[in-house]
Structure 1
Amino acid sequence: MRKRLWLIFGPLLCAVLLILVVILAANTQPKSNYKVERKAATATSPRVFKSAILKQQALSDKQHRFVPFFGSSEWKRMDAMHPSTLAEGYHRSYRPFLLGQSGSTALTHYFGMQQMLPQIQNKQAVFVISPQWFIKNADNPQAFSIFYSTGQGLDFLKNQTGTKADRFAAQRFLKVAPQGSINQMMKKVANGKSLTPFEKHRINAQLSLVNHEDAFFSKWRIEDNYNKKILPESKKLPQPYNREKLGQVATHLGQQSTTNNRFGIDNTFYNKRVRQSEKGLAGKQKSINYESSVEYNDFQLVLEQFAQSNTNVMFVIPPVNHKWVAYTGLNEGMYQRSVKKIEYQLRSQGFNNVVDLSKDGNKPYFMQDTIHLGWNGWLAMDDHVDPFLTQKQAQPKYKINDKFFDAAWANYRPTASDNFSKFKQ
């Protein structure tokens, strides 16, 4: 009987043990590999976002300076003026490491940051913060799960110290994350309780296994936007760098790409995403509001982490295509009030590197589609980002205010002339 069982299950057991040995043999220490790093930096995929080893490897590379560019779906718009294309075409001293795509928000970025805290300590970063994130029902477990890996949760548990930010992050995690092996420990953190020595040992053991698995699988099948998109687009840039000529090229490319619609948006985007439903979208966005959302509380998690890591960050606030605003009925006043609320949350805490492009959605070829920067918009962003990353910057002095975790702030709706005195009180 034993022999028969061994013949049935023995090969399977040996295969499992062999896989475990191979995975555990993978080196979890990030080693420089520029070709892999270039691909990972422009992949804009959940695979890269979830991988600790790929982020750590690139951001630790002493020979090549990769800078984290946090954002969402704008990074997919890879034209000739995209930040990665400009950095490549003009051989700049830095390369953007693009983090985020459609569906990523402040909470996903906060947990993603837990995997690379040593790599952002005392460094710089760029963060595109879109008012469209700040919707009323910002609790989307499905979107969160796309970008979440167990390693992020384990790193958070390992890093937490019982602060209000830790408690709030754990509470938000339990709201949006799927049931898993770490949820009981998350509940303890959410309730302000300390983890036991055994739980801490368990976190380290589980994290070791997860990191070995990450190191083994992370380099497989990374989307190659670098060779397919960034390099070809960089050939369109005038040489050497000349801002005036660059603007002319951007305008020309915008003109060529927006010939089949009245909104000044990219032809391909219009054909795929707008043409079929255009009539039904008239006045469709009248009721949208970005002024009240738990996303403001989630955003505070990101700011607290940047402050704790002493990271010098430039924030960019994009506009919406004005022709699209007029057609869909999106309230421009509401949009500007939400921008004002975001800016107050930033500047009142010492995050003063803010590029507000929110009023530029009516400029020619500034937007590639309805809500994303393109051509001249990318250049306007680059006018601020490139000097920020290449010239010496004073280290900001942050003044973190935990009141931004309160529901009162999430629900606060500013007026056009608001100085936020009611919230201060």
Structure 2
Amino acid sequence: MRNIKAFLVALLIFCITVPMFHFGIKKELPGYELSYGTWINEAKFASADGLDKMLASSQSIPIFGSSELRHGQKSKFHANTIFKNADMEPVFIGQAGYQCLTHATTLGALGDNLKGRKVVLIVSEQWFKKKGVREDAFGAAFSEDNYIRFLENPTIRQETKEYVMARTERLTSSNEVMNERILRDNEWYGEKSEDALSNAQAKFYALYVKEKAQTRLLSESMLFGKGKNKSKEDTTTNVVSDEDWADLYRAAEKKGGKIAGGNEFGMCNSAYTHSYQEVVEKGSVKRPGYTTNSVEFDDLECFLKICKDEKITPLIVMLPFNGYWYDFANYDSSKREAIYQKVRDLSEQYGAECADLSGNEYAQYYFEDNSHLALKGLVDLNEHIYRFYQEDENVAQKDQAK
């Protein structure tokens, strides 16, 4: 009776929504443009079909991350400027609160269309608190469209699905409405059913969720997507050679001399003054709780398992701690190194390339604040991603020249 009621409610909502979708908004998901690829918006991340379309080209590469994807977006050192005329099409997936479990689910939803291709996961060391991602952050980042398609993906092993289902149930347990949806999704899509009514309800509901995600993406992209995140600085960069990268590092250093260096923590002056100076003066900094026992490592391993199942080649970009700040916060170098080493070990275990940026803890003009990259840090990040993308391209070009 309960299932029939849920089905009828979904039917009613669907009948109202679909005509609005088809006649009120042109049913055409945005294709790739750099401004869409680097656009930071929940609606973009939440539509599996929308991401599929942005990633349709073999030149595209999904870049999973969190808040660092947004920082520096209007500077000439961000991906939306650096790659303006390049042959790579970066597709950003994530913002603040998006961590390994959310990215594993999205990767699993897209997996069929990413077979044999490359992906990038930018790993922030600040993720590795004991309980991993916060419940509220996970809930805000959750996409039911991606989750259903992840569960329906036949390539992913059942034990991996069960891990994600169990983690998702736990992380939504304090949100009764959301948790009820998760339990229903797990029942409908996580297990094979012989019940014809349940199967019909599941198919119909999945279509409804997909249409809703597409509608939201169309609306958001028309209102906020194109051209809203362009650099205010010179955008004539065309990164294809070592000389281009060298020019960018020199430009970043020159810019850094103007906007950073006014504090002992290697931060941009505006960030330090706004968010850290008072804390330093009062001596009220809290000791960080990052640990090698974090459940986030299990979520990272889940992401790597999905890459292996789907025959996807991952690059794990390991961001550095700001050494000056974390020395001040009494989170010493041995604890930081333990976090780094565990990321390295997991990457090696699953055959993933690791761009290890940990040697830049004390690099000049590298950080915006106590964690986010800026200036030379952004150039370094983008260079590692581009060189990873170029690896097979260079081999293919050499083969063609023989």
**Which range, TM-score by smaller chain?**
0.7 to 0.9
Identify the residue that residue 82 of structure 1 maps to in structure 2: 78
Identify the residue that residue 316 of structure 2 maps to in structure 1: 315
Matched, 1:99 2:93: yes
Query: Cα distance, 1:289 vs. partner?
Result: 2.9
Identify the residue that residue 267 of structure 1 maps to in structure 2: 269
Query: 2:168 is matched with which residue: 169, 173, 176?
Result: 173
State the Cα deviation string for residues 332-379 of structure 1 (Å, max 9, x = none). Answer: 21111111111111102211x111111211111122221122221222
After superposition, residues 250-261 of structure 1 pair within 5 angstroms as 250-261=252-263
Query: Cα distance, 1:115 vs. partner?
Result: 3.2
State the Cα deviation string for residues 117-148 of structure 1 (Å, max 9, x = none). Answer: 23322111111112211111225221111111
Name the amino acid aligned to 2:39.
Answer: A
Name the amino acid aligned to 2:121.
Answer: F
Counterpart Cα distance in 2 of 1:29 and 1:116:
21
Identify the residue that residue 363 of structure 1 maps to in structure 2: 363
Equivalent pairs counted in the alignment come to: 373
State the Cα deviation string for residues 14-61 of structure 1 (Å, max 9, x = none). Answer: 999554323367999976634xx4443222222221122321111014
Name the amino acid aligned to 2:359.
Answer: K
Name the amino acid aligned to 1:297.
Answer: D
Identify the residue that residue 378 of structure 2 maps to in structure 1: 378
Checking the alignment, whether the CA contact within 8 Å between 1:70 and 1:126 is kept in structure 2 is yes
After superposition, residues 293-308 of structure 1 pair within 5 angstroms as 293-308=294-309
Name the amino acid aligned to 1:153.
Answer: Y
Counterpart Cα distance in 2 of 1:389 and 1:81:
18
Where do 5+ consecutive residues of structure 1 fail to align? 1-13, 396-425
Name the amino acid aligned to 2:115.
Answer: Q
Identify the residue that residue 150 of structure 2 maps to in structure 1: 156
Counterpart Cα distance in 2 of 1:135 and 1:151:
28
Name the amino acid aligned to 2:372.
Answer: H
Structure with bigger gyration radius: 1
Query: Cα distance, 1:167 vs. partner?
Result: 1.2
Counterpart Cα distance in 2 of 1:150 and 1:215:
12
SS in structure 1 of the partner of residue 61 of structure 2: strand
Counterpart Cα distance in 1 of 2:306 and 2:373:
27
Question: Which segment is superposed worse, 328-337 or 218-227?
Answer: 218-227
SS in structure 1 of the partner of residue 91 of structure 2: strand
Counterpart Cα distance in 1 of 2:15 and 2:207:
17
Identify the residue that residue 121 of structure 2 maps to in structure 1: 127
Counterpart Cα distance in 1 of 2:225 and 2:263:
28
Identify the residue that residue 8 of structure 2 maps to in structure 1: none
After superposition, residues 12-411 of structure 1 pair within 5 angstroms as 17=15, 19-23=17-21, 33-34=31-32, 37-61=33-57, 65-77=59-71, 78=73, 79-88=75-84, 91-138=85-132, 140-159=134-153, 163-177=158-172, 178-186=178-186, 194-198=192-196, 199-222=198-221, 224=224, 227-235=227-235, 237=237, 242-280=244-282, 284-285=286-287, 288-351=289-352, 353-392=353-392
Counterpart Cα distance in 1 of 2:102 and 2:43:
13
Alpha carbons of 1:201 and 1:272: their partners in 2 closer, same or farther (altered >3 Å)? farther
**Percent of aligned pairs sharing the same letter:** 19
SS in structure 2 of the partner of residue 384 of structure 1: helix
SS in structure 1 of the partner of residue 359 of structure 2: coil
Alpha carbons of 1:187 and 1:205: their partners in 2 closer, same or farther (altered >3 Å)? closer
- Backbone CA RMSD of aligned residues: 3.2
SS in structure 1 of the partner of residue 62 of structure 2: strand
Where do 5+ consecutive residues of structure 2 fail to align? 1-11, 173-177, 396-402
- TM-score w.r.t. the length of structure 1 is 0.78
Name the amino acid aligned to 1:109.
Answer: H
State the Cα deviation string for residues 61-109 of structure 1 (Å, max 9, x = none). Answer: 46xx321111111111123222332111xx1111211111111111111
Query: Cα distance, 1:238 vs. partner?
Result: 8.8
Name the amino acid aligned to 1:87.
Answer: F
Name the amino acid aligned to 1:333.
Answer: S
Checking the alignment, whether the CA contact within 8 Å between 1:31 and 1:57 is kept in structure 2 is yes
- TM-score w.r.t. the length of structure 2 is 0.82
Alpha carbons of 1:213 and 1:28: their partners in 2 closer, same or farther (altered >3 Å)? farther
Question: Which segment is superposed worse, 362-371 or 380-389?
Answer: 380-389
SS in structure 2 of the partner of residue 128 of structure 1: strand
SS in structure 2 of the partner of residue 107 of structure 1: helix
SS in structure 2 of the partner of residue 265 of structure 1: coil
Checking the alignment, whether the CA contact within 8 Å between 2:316 and 2:354 is kept in structure 1 is yes
Checking the alignment, whether the CA contact within 8 Å between 2:308 and 2:350 is kept in structure 1 is no
Name the amino acid aligned to 2:106.
Answer: G
